[in-house]
Amino acid sequence: MVGGELLFKHPKMNMQKGIEFSGGSLGMGLSLGVGTALALRMRGNGTAKVYVLLGDGECDEGSVFEAAAAGAHYNLANLTVIVDRNGLQNDGPTEMVMNKSGLARWWKAMGYTVFEADGHDVESLFNAFANEADVPRLVLANTVKGKGVSFAENITDWHAAYLTQTLYDKAVAEWEDA
Return per-residue pLDDT of the chain as tens, 178 residues: 445 555 556 667 788 877 777 766 677 889 999 999 999 999 999 999 999 999 999 999 899 999 999 999 999 999 999 999 999 888 888 888 888 888 999 999 999 999 999 999 999 999 999 988 999 999 999 999 999 999 999 999 888 888 889 999 999 999 898 7
- Residue 37 sits in a domain of what CATH number? 3.40.50.970
Q: How many domains does the chain have?
A: 2
Q: Using CA atoms, how far apart are residues 102 and 18, in angstroms rounded to an integer? A: 35
> Model pTM?
0.87
In this structure, the answer to whether residues 136 and 64 fall within a common structural domain is yes
Residue 1 resides in a domain: no
3-state secondary structure of 78: coil
**Residues 6+ positions from 84 with CB-CB distance below 8 Å:** 53, 54, 55, 56, 119, 141, 143
